[in-house]
Amino acid sequence: MAVKSQTKYLWFETKKLRDYIRITDEIAAFLKESGIHEGFILVSAMHITAGVYINDWEEGLIQDIDTWLEQLAPENPAYHHHRTGETNGDAHLKRILIGHQVMVPVTEGRLDLGPWEQIFYAEFDGQRRKRVILKALGI
Amino acid sequence: MAVKSQTKYLWFETKKLRDYIRITDEIAAFLKESGIHEGFILVSAMHITAGVYINDWEEGLIQDIDTWLEQLAPENPAYHHHRTGETNGDAHLKRILIGHQVMVPVTEGRLDLGPWEQIFYAEFDGQRRKRVILKALGI
Amino acid sequence: MAVKSQTKYLWFETKKLRDYIRITDEIAAFLKESGIHEGFILVSAMHITAGVYINDWEEGLIQDIDTWLEQLAPENPAYHHHRTGETNGDAHLKRILIGHQVMVPVTEGRLDLGPWEQIFYAEFDGQRRKRVILKALGI
């Protein structure tokens, strides 16, 4: 079978410094545009102070994730990175913790996700324009 | 060359609440079924309180990983997520720490893993039926 | 379109026990060799005490990442894993934190990375020869 590839970029500019935005529907719409029935979609944050993850769409848990990331990778003026004039050292570490990309399987023309799996964009240094790449490869 | 795709689901229902199950042989068997010689296999936990990772098959280290995950993402009645009636907030965070998927490279018809790399299913909220998707794409 | 696949291994033997080595140029050179225009490159550490990640190429941040990994997954003689004679329990956990692989999107024949995204090999138990697999699949 002939392989198809499709690429799209999602843009974000959050009002808050940290935010968690559900993007499952955008990925499903992209899948339709791609015409792919079997394969993968890469969803990857292109800025190094943002991430992409798959977890629960439940406000309490999203709060828990935010609190937990701040505990393990706190805002802190003392990061060496801040000698460059930056103030977002914590955001780089939060991206590492949550991960910056997922591969979404495509089966029979639909996103093959579990019953509670939802795809999220995680912003850790917002209020500027940032991109996420969607790239599908399949048949 | 013609591309092939193959999909399979592994089911788990652990007796323990937390467990770490080696699944390398199941992935190797799936690779044979797929007939793929060059490409990728996605191995991805479809439930948001479980993970998939690649590390050492050594009982002491598996204990260390479990202790460490509990230190960094502890069981705690105070998670906001528990207002929904759930009790598994920690399991969602442990999944984030360990990761929920890996891409296994396939070269000359075999899993192209390093000498000590073994693929594991990580259960953080067990005693219920859960799935892992295996999806191969390649030639 | 006909699918192509290409595989290559990068070897590392660091002088330091822990090290962070930028490999973006090596991946770009491999992409040229592969002749792929649209698709993915998997970059994956084949040894379980090493990782691969994408983040900033800035010395201060690299120091911050190293300090942070040591805080969250410290060297410690008490790991159960050390009963086997090993001394690198922390290195296994650091690999889990930073992740061991990335999928790099390829668009119009180039690595489709964000403006600051750089690919790194992370060594946590160096002074021995280790491999990273590069595997491209695409059209």
pLDDT digits (tens, 9 = 90+) for B90-138: 999 999 999 999 999 999 999 999 999 999 999 999 999 999 999 999 9
**Which of chain C's residues have a Cβ under 8 Å away from the Cβ of A96?**
53, 55, 65, 97-99
Q: In a structure prediction context, what are the per-residue pLDDT tens digits for chain C, which is 139 residues long?
A: 689 999 999 999 999 999 999 999 999 999 999 999 999 999 999 999 999 999 999 999 999 999 999 999 999 999 999 999 999 999 999 999 999 999 999 999 999 999 999 999 999 999 999 999 999 999 9
Residue the block writes with tokens 């690999």: C95
Task: Map out the domains of chain B with their CATH numbers.
Answer: 20-76+87-98+117-139 (2.60.120.460)
Dihedral pair phi/psi, residue A26, rounded to 5°: -65, -40
Distance from the Cα of B122 to chain C's closest Cα (Å) equals: 13
Q: Do A83 and C60 touch (CB under 8 A)?
A: yes
Contacts of C93 in chain B (CB under 8 A): 64-65, 68
Contact residues on chain B for A53, CB-CB shorter than 8 A: 96
CB A98 within 8 A of CB B99: no
- The residues pairing with A39 across neighbouring beta strands, listed in sequence order, are A106, A138
Percent over 70 (pLDDT), chain B: 99
Touching B (3+ Cβ pairs <8 A), the chains are A, C
Q: Using the structure block, give the residue that is written with the tokens 């490999």.
A: C23
| Residue ranges of E strands in chain A | 4-12, 19-22, 39-45, 50-55, 101-107, 110-111, 118-123, 130-138
Residue B130: CB atoms within 10 A of its CB come to 20
Low-confidence ranges of chain A (pLDDT < 70): 1
Buried/exposed A31-47: b ≥16 CB within 10 Å, e otherwise: beebebbbbbbbbbbbb
Question: What is the 8-class DSSP label of residue C114?
Answer: -
Strand A50-55 relative to strand B4-12, pairing? unpaired
Q: Find the chain C residues whose C-beta atoms sit closer than 8 A to any C-beta of B.
A: 2-3, 5, 7, 40, 42, 44-48, 72-73, 79-84, 89, 92-93, 95-97, 99-101, 103, 131, 133, 135, 137
What are the residues facing B45 on neighbouring strands?
B132
pLDDT at B69: 98
Give the pairing type, strands B39-45 and B19-22.
unpaired
Residue contact C139–A82, C-beta within 8 A: no
Nearest-angstrom CA–CA distance, A55 and A34: 24
Count of beta carbons in the 10 Å neighbourhood of residue A78: 9
Q: Is the pTM of this model over 0.90?
A: yes
CA C81 – CA C86 distance, rounded (Å):
7
